Amino acid sequence: MRERSVRPHRRTFRLLGSLLLVTAVGASLTGAAPAREPSSPASGPVPLDRVIPAPASVQPGGSPYRITRGTQIRVDGSRETRTVGEYLADVLRPSTGYRLPVTDHGRGGIRLRLGKGPFGEEGYRLHSGRSGVTITAARPAGLFHGVQTLRQLLPAAVEKDTVQPGPWLVAGGTIEDTPRYGWRGAMLDVSRHFFSVGEVKRYIDQLALYKVNKLHLHLSDDQGWRIAIDSWPRLATYGGSTEVGGGPGGYYTKADYKEIVRYAASRHLEVVPEIDMPGHTNAALASYAGLNCDGVAPPLYTGTEVGFSSLCVGKEITYDFVEDVVRELAALTPGRYLHIGGDEAHSTPHEDYVKFMDRVQPIVAEYGKTVIGWHQLTGATPAKGALAQYWGLDGTSAAEKEQVAAAARNGTGLILSPADRAYLDMKYDKDTPLGLSWAGYVEVQRSYDWDPGAYLPGAPASAIRGVEAPLWTETLENSGHLEFMAFPRLPGIAELGWSPAATHDWADYRQRLASQAPRWEALGIGYYRSPQVLWPAEGGADAG
């Protein structure tokens, strides 16, 4: 079945949008760059280097290619290439109004081919000239990422779902591109508020635009258990029956979850499921009295405090529970990783925490998965091959940073999600109507302007597997809310994960970012008009 890419759900963000898109007025610019009109000139094609994430290498030159009524999307014989071709056709057909057949015959046009080259798993080359555009990659993921680049080289109106006038020009030249890091993640907390399969798919489509390749789902917390576990059915039916603020909550059936995994894979994202333990477990403890040390189930919880719940480390039933959950979740997970949380176990004595992690990590391995934990896992003994996800901030103590760095020197890979940079749930400034501020305000420049390779003192650059942007949802209830917090910061974190350090430049980035806005508008994505960016006038996509 063909899937459409992100399309407008205008209703969900309109209200919020009108409320929030006023901040640009009277804004003072804090960036160093001189103001320049960032939208693509109506007369010429989008410059080849105006892409996010910044490609590794761009050589502009030669004639542009023009997509016309006669353009074909040419694929080689493989099923995987055809799938990417169909995806591209689904993006281009509504706005161009052209047929754009996907075919393995003919000449010219938009050509997708698998071939040898220095592309790795995810890289690609895009060449554009008078007779056509050719995207070459070693693997389908590379073709898919090349297609995302091609989208950004077309006018923003290409993202609309009704026929637009064009012309549909792609600037001439060559882009050669491979990612800096293999881990370019986004986390969605579906526990504090529940998000439907449709809402998750919508976010997946937005992540794919920026070449994000991991979707980490935070599936359990104090406020809700969101995945059906057959051997412990009350986790979902009771533990999933509410959320922050007391709403109805919800959970994914196994069929729902498989659909999310399938859809993510169709966008070349791997789903990383997280069951947070031993803390953040009130929903499980409320569902089964036997999991509690005192045998008494606490009530369901709909507030936003953290650190008050713990699995009972001394009871055998705890490990039966963990094993059943890990077994069922591993069976639903084609990817390699299973995230076991481990953050803020303030109600678990330290020795118990260490004991718990010593018993639980081998269970994950037994079911063929690799452990990921929040960086507190480095306070226990991370299993061989485990990854730690760092979520500290500038103010984190030197001792805590050193504990993580020492683990990294010892072979534990790191995913960087510094809360005062990468947390998409932090308010932009004091007036942001959504989000939290415990890690401070995180404006767009702060979010973008750091180097993952040199971020954590004492951690070898080789230990850094990449970056991830978490989106916690204590205050976020629908797609409009998610988008307002993710845009425009998400593309910046995606760029830190993909682009070579040498391309890092705020003054240039903020201009590229500004030219994304008409695309978001065309896609119905409501975003925060940060005063740090010189946004084009709203409605810019109509100029086509």
Closest distance between ligand NGO and the C-beta of residue 515, in Å?
Answer: 30
Regarding 420 and contact with ligand NGO (CB under 6 A), the answer is no
Which candidate, 107, 119, 112, places its Cα nearest to that of 76? Answer: 112
Site for ligand NGO in 265-284 (CB under 6 A): none
What mask, x for binding ligand NGO by CB under 6 A, covers residues 443 to 472?
A: -----------------------------x
Residue 27 within binding range of ligand NGO, rule CB under 6 A: no
Choice from 98, 168, 263, 391 touching ligand NGO (CB under 6 A): 391
What's the Cα-to-Cα distance from 165 to each of 7, 332, 496, 525, 540, rounded to whole Å? 19, 45, 35, 22, 14
Q: Of 472 and 520, which has the nearer Cβ to ligand NGO?
A: 472
Q: Is 225 in the site for ligand NGO (CB under 6 A)?
A: no
Q: Does the footprint of ligand NGO cover residue 393 (CB under 6 A)?
A: no
Of all residues in this chain, which one has the CB nearest to ligand NGO in the complex?
A: 472
Q: How far is the CB of 345 from ligand NGO (least distance, A)?
A: 10
Q: Which residue from 228, 202, 226 is spatially nearest to 215, judged by alpha carbons?
A: 202
- Coil/strand/helix, residue 361: helix
For 39, 56, 341, 393, the CA distances from 538, given in Å and listed in that order, are 11, 30, 41, 35
**Nearer Cβ to ligand NGO (159/425):** 425
Tell me the closest approach of the beta carbon of residue 519 to ligand NGO, in angstroms: 28
Say how many CA atoms lie within 13 Å of 474 toward its Cβ.
16
Q: Is 374 in the site for ligand NGO (CB under 6 A)?
A: yes
Q: Which one, 152 or 378, has the nearer CB to ligand NGO?
A: 378
Tokens representing 80 are 């995987």
Q: What is the 3-state secondary structure (H, E, C) of 385-434?
A: CCEEEECCCCCCCHHHHHHHHHHHHCCCEEEECCHHHHCCCECCCCCCCC
**344: annotated active-site residue:** yes
Cα–Cα distance for residue pair 512/296, rounded to 1 Å: 56
From the CB of 344, what's the least distance to ligand NGO, in Å? Answer: 5
Q: For ligand NGO, which residue of 328, 420, 425, 443 counts as binding (CB under 6 A)?
A: 425
Q: How far apart are CA 387 and CA 491, in angstroms?
A: 23
Site for ligand NGO contains 390 (CB under 6 A): no
Question: Does residue 343 touch ligand NGO according to CB under 6 A?
Answer: yes
Kindly provide the b/e burial profile for residues 427-462, where b requires at least 16 CB atoms within 10 angstroms of the residue's own CB: bbeeebebbbeebbebbbbbbbbbebbebbeebeee
By CB under 6 A, tell whether 33 contacts ligand NGO.
no
> Which phi and psi (to 5°) does residue 350 adopt?
-55, -45
Choose between 114 and 345: whose C-beta lies nearer to ligand NGO.
345
436 near ligand NGO, judged by CB under 6 A: yes
Question: DSSP string of 12-58?
Answer: HHHHHHHHHTTTTTTPPP-SSSPP---SPPSSSPPPTT--SSPPSEE
* 243 forms part of the interface with ligand NGO (CB under 6 A): no
The residue (of 243 and 425) whose beta carbon lies closer to ligand NGO is: 425
Nearer to ligand NGO, 306 or 543 (CB): 306
Q: How many residues bind ligand NGO (CB under 6 A)?
A: 10
Nearest residue (CB) to ligand NGO, 281 versus 532? 281
Task: Give the C-alpha separation, 501 to 416, whole Å.
Answer: 15
Catalogue the active-site residues: 344
Contact residues toward ligand NGO (CB under 6 A) are: 306, 343-344, 374, 391, 423, 425, 436, 472, 474
